[in-house]
């Protein structure tokens, strides 16, 4: 391997960048692409990078890795922990951390590209490697599509992608059908009337309005959604006021809604809005709440046939024990925009980054939730090995499964498989 993947990962981890600000990350990527002698373009969807390996006739396989980090203050205590800060869209200075593993996604992608590039005689077709910005805003894939990525590069026959997750390192898994939930991000501004903290009767207190709203929103999941169906209403942020003795004029909430399919969307949105408006009315608000859609992500649905085919390929490559059913994830992704817009199948999978012994101990002790930091936690810290290697290999095996055979094998069968997968 020409690229020192461990050093690359540590460098990316130390220098996380917020969504649509991944300029240093893009620079690292293009330097390596240049070293590998690959064709690429920058600035797709603002900060995205797309590389292409053309290798004769055959299927076009898109591989996707996302690049952005999160406004989280790292608390892992790692020697290479991030101390970076950034400016969020509101202009606030915030800590930044790769708390979702996108640094590992980029690392694995570059490793896979080196491997695939070095083994061109073993496969045929075209690889399009998509380094996507702003997945955390649910906006990067759409931005690349809007920027013409599907027209400016060979259109995919299949889209593949992977995500690091708190499974034991070495494990890889996908499930057919809904793999990840749909999600909407909504900002809400509640309007009260400000005044002195000692004169509540001359104000309309937006802090109490916001608190009552948060408590009432719990009932959407607890009382209004069928207990057998998945639904999440998270208020991820609440902000009001600057000082203990000033009752502010406004409060801001940011909500994340999760649901399993497009049909559930209208219901959950209507319920959330009904409650927020009624709680404003309960406070006697003189102005209606204002709602802003920050993003809306469709469910991530894996193609049944392609998923089955890929799991079989991994089983052969890594052993059946290494291939798991990760279950449906309540988290969300924007990777499916590429496949939805192109009308082609998608497989999106997970691979593990937790020390297997630590995982086994937590499982035995019933302390998975307490002991194993999840994505977005300030303690999220994948072990480097074999996480890096398995990420590279999972992507390489997947790409090869859907590319044509090389000189020694026939392309026709592979193409047929792709066609079938898309059915």
> Pairing relation of β-strands 172-173 and 323-324?
parallel
Indicate the residue among 358 and 375 with the shorter CB distance to a copy of itself: 375
Q: Alpha-carbon distance 6 to 107, whole Å?
A: 8
User: Hey, which residues between 123 and 162 contact a copy of itself (CB under 8 A)?
Assistant: 136
- Size of residue set near a copy of itself by CB under 8 A: 95
Q: Alpha-carbon distance 285 to 35, whole Å?
A: 61
Indicate the residue among 255 and 399 with the shorter CB distance to a copy of itself: 255
Beta strands in 91-152 (DSSP E): 93-95, 123-132
Query: Is 102 among the annotated ligand-binding positions?
Result: yes
Query: Is 32 among the annotated ligand-binding positions?
Result: no
Residue whose pair of structure tokens reads 């047929």 in the numeric block:
416
- 171 sits in the region (left: phi over 0; alpha: psi -120 to 50; else beta) called beta
CB 33 → a copy of itself: shortest distance, Å? 30
User: Hey, which residues between 164 and 223 contact a copy of itself (CB under 8 A)?
Assistant: 181, 183, 185-187, 193-203, 205, 207-208, 210-216, 218-223
> Pairing relation of β-strands 60-66 and 123-132?
parallel
Supply the DSSP string of 270-315, one letter for each residue. HHHHHHHHHHHHHTT-SS--EEEEEEEE--EEE-HHHHHHHHHHHH
Pattern 253-272, a copy of itself, x by CB under 8 A: -xxx-x------------x-
Element (H, E) at 165: strand 158-168
Backbone phi, psi, residue 28, to 5°? -60, -45
Indicate the residue among 197 and 315 with the shorter CB distance to a copy of itself: 197
CB 17 → a copy of itself: shortest distance, Å? 15
User: Hey, which residues between 311 and 330 contact a copy of itself (CB under 8 A)?
Assistant: 327-330
Identified binder of a copy of itself from the candidate list 151, 244, 343, 410, rule CB under 8 A: 244
CB 189 → a copy of itself: shortest distance, Å? 14
* Segment interacting with a copy of itself (CB under 8 A) among 22-30, 89-97, 103-111, 411-419: 89-97
User: Hey, which residues between 275 and 314 contact a copy of itself (CB under 8 A)?
Assistant: 275, 277-279, 281-284, 294
- Reported residue count of the chain is 423
- Across the strands, what pairs with 324? 173
Residue 381 binds a copy of itself (CB under 8 A): no
CB 227 → a copy of itself: shortest distance, Å? 5
Indicate the residue among 364 and 423 with the shorter CB distance to a copy of itself: 364
Of 349, 297, 354, the C-alpha closest to 325 is 349
User: Hey, which residues between 12 and 71 contact a copy of itself (CB under 8 A)?
Assistant: 70-71
Query: Is 136 among the annotated ligand-binding positions?
Result: yes
Residue whose pair of structure tokens reads 């809604």 in the numeric block:
257
Residue whose pair of structure tokens reads 């998945």 in the numeric block:
230
CB 179 → a copy of itself: shortest distance, Å? 12
Which residues line the annotated binding site for Mn(2+)? 100, 102, 136, 163
């Amino acid at each position: 391997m020409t690229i020192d993947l461990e050093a690359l990962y540590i460098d990316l981890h130390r220098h996380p960048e917020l969504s649509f600000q991944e300029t240093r990350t893009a620079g690292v990527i293009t330097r390596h692409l240049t070293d590998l002698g690959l064709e690429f373009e920058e600035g797709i969807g603002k900060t995205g990078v797309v590389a292409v390996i053309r290798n004769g006739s055959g299927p076009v396989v898109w591989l996707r890795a996302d690049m952005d980090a999160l406004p989280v203050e790292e608390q892992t205590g790692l020697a290479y922990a991030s101390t970076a800060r950034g400016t969020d869209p509101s202009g606030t200075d915030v800590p930044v951390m790769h708390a979702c593993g996108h640094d590992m996604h980029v690392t694995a992608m570059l490793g896979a590209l080196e491997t695939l590039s070095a083994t061109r005689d073993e496969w045929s077709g075209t690889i399009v490697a998509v380094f996507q910005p702003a997945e955390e805003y649910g906006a990067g894939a759409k931005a690349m599509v809007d920027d013409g990525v599907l027209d400016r590069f060979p259109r995919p026959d299949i889209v593949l992608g992977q995500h690091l997750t708190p499974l034991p390192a070495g494990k890889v898994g996908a499930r057919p059908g809904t793999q990840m939930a749909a999600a909407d991000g909504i900002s809400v501004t509640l309007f009260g009337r400000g005044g002195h903290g000692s004169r509540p009767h001359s104000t309309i207190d937006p802090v109490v309005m916001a608190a009552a709203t948060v408590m009432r929103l719990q009932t959407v999941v607890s009382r209004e959604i069928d207990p057998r169906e998945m639904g999440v209403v998270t208020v991820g942020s609440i902000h009001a006021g600057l000082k203990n003795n000033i009752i502010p004029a406004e409060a801001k909430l940011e909500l994340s809604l999760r649901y399993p399919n497009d049909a559930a969307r209208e219901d959950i949105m209507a319920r959330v809005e009904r409650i927020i408006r009624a709680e404003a009315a309960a406070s006697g608000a003189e102005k209606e709440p204002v709602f802003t859609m920050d993003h809306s992500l469709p469910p991530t649905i894996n193609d049944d046939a392609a998923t089955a085919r890929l799991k079989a390929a991994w089983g052969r490559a890594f052993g059946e024990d290494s291939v798991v059913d990760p279950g449906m994830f309540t988290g969300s992704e924007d990777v499916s925009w590429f496949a939805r817009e192109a009308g082609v199948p998608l497989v999106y999978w997970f691979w593990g980054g937790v020390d297997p012994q630590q995982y086994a101990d937590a499982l035995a002790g019933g302390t998975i939730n307490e002991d194993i930091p999840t994505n977005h936690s300030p303690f999220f810290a994948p072990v480097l090995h074999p996480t890096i290697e398995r990420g590279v290999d999972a992507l390489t095996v997947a790409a090869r499964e859907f590319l044509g055979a090389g000189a020694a094998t026939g392309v026709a069968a592979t193409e047929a498989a792709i066609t079938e997968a898309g059915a």
